[in-house]
Amino acid sequence: MASCFITFKDGRCYSRRWTIYDAILHIAIQELERIPGGMPLSEWLKLQIPVEEAEHQSDACYGFYNSRIDEWKNRELDVRSLTPENQELFWEAIRNGRIRLVEEGEAYSPLNIDYFDEFYTMYELAEKGEPPMDYNHLIIVAEPCKEKNGPGW
């Protein structure tokens, strides 16, 4: 069951199981660590997925108790809530990660390339300005984002 959400700049949403969400963020984290200036966003993204044993034990699929920051975290990322610079870094990491996933496959990530390609297609459509409801996992377009998340705000 889809329980985790990544919202694109045009309000379309990618929604899949928590394992897929976590794998996509792991790819972004890995690639951000290779990009100059990407480490602060990488460190923040690490807080959005469970890594500690206690966090895995509290995992409810749609969210988990993050013992590192002592709060509940739902698995949702509205990329629009990041600074413009961090949005660019995130998408650069995703583009780089796609190349590595295609070239290295499971040696790079356990994520099935079909799920990543579905996510990446949404990214490309959003970038081209295609209507968000043409390819969206939700029945509506997300409201404009008013939140500010991640480093740099």
Q: Residue 35: which of 84, 79, 99, 93 has the closest Cα?
A: 93
Q: Look up residue 110 and give its two tokens.
A: 């356990």
Residue 51: per-residue pLDDT: 78
Q: Look up residue 145 and give its two tokens.
A: 């984002």
Q: Look up residue 78 and give its two tokens.
A: 């509205």
Q: Could you give the percent of the chain with pLDDT greater than 90?
A: 77
Q: Residue 142: which of 3, 4, 13 has the closest Cα?
A: 13
Global confidence as pTM? 0.91
- The residues, ordered by sequence, that sit 6+ positions from 11 with a Cβ below 8 Å of its Cβ are 132, 141, 142, 143, 144
Examine the pLDDT at 136 and tell me if it is beyond 80.
Answer: yes
In the structure, what pLDDT confidence band is assigned to residue 73 with cuts at 50, 70 and 90?
confident
Residue 12: per-residue pLDDT: 98
CA quadruple 70, 74, 77, 83: dihedral positive or negative? negative
> How many Å apart are CA 97 and CA 54, to the nearest integer?
28
> How many Å apart are CA 133 and CA 153, to the nearest integer?
30
Q: For the purposes of burial, counting CB atoms within 10 Å of the CB of 144, is it exposed (0-12), middle (13-18) or buried (19 or more)? A: exposed
Residue 100: per-residue pLDDT: 98
41 vs 54, higher pLDDT: 41
